[in-house]
Amino acid sequence: MQMDVVSQALDVWFFSHPFQWKDVVMALGYGLPAFMMLSVGWSAGEKKRACLFMGGVLALMSLNAVFQINEILLYLARSIARDSGQYGARRSLQFDVILVGVAIVLVLLARLRHSLRYLWADYGAVVLGTMALVGLTFLQSISFHDVDAILYIRIAGVSVHKWLEAAGICFTLWGAWRVYRNN
């Protein structure tokens, strides 16, 4: 039964997400700051762990931009909820997951802020940009219909989600460039 759900999720993903040029652009948008942070992390001393962590997160988000892994996981979660009869009661679970996700992002942000306390002027932009991108991906993955309605409003032919994602990538890229240039 579980393999059937996984194969259905992969089929839905394969047919509903054709590979497009914008996927390559978004992957490069995540991949370039990931490369910069990983290269700084391999050569850095005291800030090595934070740089490797941020680079790793951005590299995973680059893979997600191409392969839409969050869509596969969302489909699997919906299928499991439907099969177990819990799909109708998902609203409270979504709210709880949002609270836990916000708490995790805040804890990670506080931890990174503490570990980079003397270097926040250099690293703040890349940390805040990456956490904003993680939060945006998390909000999209929860599939909370009220949030989705806002994220998919189109402005100049592009969804608000993509505008926010592009702004977050630009901010993260700018911060990663500053870190890369100074090291």
Distance, in Å, from the CA atom of 85 to the CA atom of 79, rounded to the nearest integer, reads 10
Higher pLDDT, 133 or 17: 133
Query: How much is the pTM?
Result: 0.78
Inform me whether the pLDDT recorded for 79 exceeds 70.
yes
pLDDT at residue 58, rounded to an integer? 92
Share of the chain above pLDDT 70, in %: 86
What's the token pair of residue 156? 């100049």
pLDDT at residue 111, rounded to an integer? 80
Distance between first and last Cα of the chain:
52
- Per the structure, the count of domains in the chain is 1
Confidence band, pLDDT 50/70/90 cuts, at residue 1: very low
Mapped onto helix, strand or coil, the DSSP state of residue 159 is strand
Around 68, how many Cα atoms within 13 Å sit in the side-chain half-sphere? 19
Distance, in Å, from the CA atom of 136 to the CA atom of 26, rounded to the nearest integer, reads 14
Across the range 32-36, mean pLDDT stands at: 92
Residue 42 CB neighbour total at 10 angstroms: 11
Residue range of the domain that includes 131: 1-182
Distance, in Å, from the CA atom of 146 to the CA atom of 150, rounded to the nearest integer, reads 7
Question: In what helix (H) or strand (E) does residue 155 lie, and over which residues does it extend?
Answer: strand 154-155
Distance, in Å, from the CA atom of 71 to the CA atom of 82, rounded to the nearest integer, reads 16
Burial 2-26 (b: 16+ CB within 10 A, else e): eeebeeebeeebeeeeeeeeeeeeb
pLDDT at residue 43, rounded to an integer? 78
Confidence band, pLDDT 50/70/90 cuts, at residue 139: confident
pLDDT at residue 88, rounded to an integer? 72
Inform me whether the pLDDT recorded for 171 exceeds 90.
yes
Distance, in Å, from the CA atom of 47 to the CA atom of 33, rounded to the nearest integer, reads 16
